[in-house]
């Protein structure tokens, strides 16, 4: 091996090691942890035995910071509930799970877009500030009835 090749090889290896050491130290120093640490699990065979998903729908939240909890179950080839009505301005914690296969959960014209995976509870926090009907679609191919898998979220103003 030529002298210059050894120099460049040593320089490249040293730079890589230095980069990884700095990255590792900064991650530990800033207290980063793996993303999976906050994921809530559920037994996919017993989704309907869980109190939260026995009768999916909109319920007043017991947790501070939220007005409502919206529980939804995605299964072949439907969402439950098929329609939900939410008061405008509500702070909602959306929780979705599935007992069968991977589904997408996208609320059109909003930033809500997550995966519903067997064994996991997907969560999204949002405030519904705009009145209207928002279509919920499955954006992950889940089988032959995939295109018919929809639900509707109706955001309604207060009747004062």
46/91 same-domain check: yes
Instruction: Give residue 27's pLDDT.
Output: 76
List the CATH number of the domain containing 133: 2.60.40.420
Q: How many domains does the chain have?
A: 2
Q: Is 143 helix (H, G, I), strand (E, B) or coil?
A: coil
Q: Which residues of the chain have pLDDT under 70?
A: 30-38, 158-160
Residue the block writes with tokens 């103003």: 157
CA distance 136 to 62: 25
pLDDT digits (tens, 9 = 90+) for 20-59: 999 888 877 766 655 555 678 899 999 999 999 999 999 9
State the pTM of this model.
0.74
Instruction: Give residue 36's pLDDT.
Output: 55
CA distance 8 to 146: 54
**Domain region containing 15:** 3-32
77/151 same-domain check: yes
CA distance 76 to 91: 29
58/24 same-domain check: no
Q: Phi/psi of residue 39, each to 5°?
A: -80, 130
CA distance 57 to 135: 16
């Amino acid at each position: 091996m030529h002298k210059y090749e050894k120099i460049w090889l040593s320089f490249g290896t040293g730079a890589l090691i230095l980069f990884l050491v700095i990255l590792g130290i900064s991650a530990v120093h800033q207290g980063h942890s793996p993303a999976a640490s906050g994921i809530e699990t559920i037994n996919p065979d017993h989704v309907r035995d869980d109190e939260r998903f026995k009768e999916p729908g909109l319920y007043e939240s017991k947790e501070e910071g939220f007005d409502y909890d919206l529980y939804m179950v995605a299964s072949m080839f439907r969402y439950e509930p098929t329609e939900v009505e939410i008061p405008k301005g509500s702070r909602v914690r959306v929780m979705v799970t599935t007992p069968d296969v991977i589904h997408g959960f996208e609320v059109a014209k909003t930033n809500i877009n997550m995966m519903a995976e067997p064994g996991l509870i997907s969560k999204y926090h949002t405030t519904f500030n705009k009145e209207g009907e928002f279509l919920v679609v499955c954006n992950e191919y889940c089988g032959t009835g995939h295109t018919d898998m929809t639900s509707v979220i109706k955001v309604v103003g207060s009747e004062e």
